[in-house]
Amino acid sequence: DIRKFEIELYWKRATYFWVFTGAALAAYLTALTGSDLQSRSQALLLTSCIGLVFAVAWYFVNRASKFWQLNWEVHVDLLENDVNGPAYKTVLIDPAPWWKLHGPYPFSVSKINQILSLFVVAVFALLLINTLNEHYTLSTELALFPTACVSITLICLMLLVWLGRVGKPKTNVSMQLRETIIKKYQRNGD
């Protein structure tokens, strides 16, 4: 049930990030093609920064979801033989090659989504670099808006990397089962 719950949350998170990255991309394209826009460069910079932050967050959330999915799959692998036999460990082996377009293939949906989110990160990074290159110049006199926008974006990305982790990654991981004692509940006077 926990594994099913994690998968359900995975798709809710994916939808959440698709909406925000799609909106950022649509806003960027609108700013790029809009004829009435007075501060096009600022709109392009702002939307590419927002898109980059959401794309990086989506990539990290995809990696975290994959971690927790794997965590619960390992739990099931450890416990399932004693409960109902190797139902989840038994996997269909289809000899069909991957290029057989009408046949099944064991692609990982979460890995594909993770790679797709990394692609979106690259797209927004390129949009940001292109916007900075075409509309802004590096000088000793810093313009407030672009400097603040890029600085806040970099700070936010660093916070996602440093503060977004559960804990320090470990190479040697050990697991231990907790001991749980269940006592029968009794009312007063019984």
Is the CB of residue 111 less than 8 Å from the CB of residue 66? yes
CA 37/CA 190 separation, integer angstroms: 77
Tokens representing 154 are 């970099």
Q: What is the pLDDT of residue 93?
A: 76
Under 8 Å between Cβ of 80 and 72: no
Residue 23 Cα to chain centre, angstroms: 17
What's the pLDDT at 7? Answer: 78
Q: Measured on CA atoms in the order 137, 138, 144, 147, is the torsion positive or negative?
A: positive
Q: Give pLDDT, residue 178.
A: 61
d(CA 12, CA 72): 18
- In this prediction, residue 64 carries a pLDDT of 86
- Report the pLDDT value the prediction gives residue 183, as an integer from 0 to 100: 67
Tell me the Cα Rg of the chain. Answer: 24
Tens-of-pLDDT digits for all 190 residues of the chain? 776 777 788 888 888 888 999 999 999 999 998 877 678 899 999 999 999 999 999 999 988 888 887 877 777 777 777 777 777 677 777 767 778 888 777 788 888 989 999 999 999 999 999 999 998 887 778 888 999 999 999 999 999 999 888 766 556 767 666 665 666 666 665 5
On whether the CB atoms of residues 105 and 96 are closer than 8 A, the answer is: yes
Q: In Å, what is the CA distance from 182 to each residue of 27, 83, 102, 161, 185?
A: 56, 20, 52, 40, 9
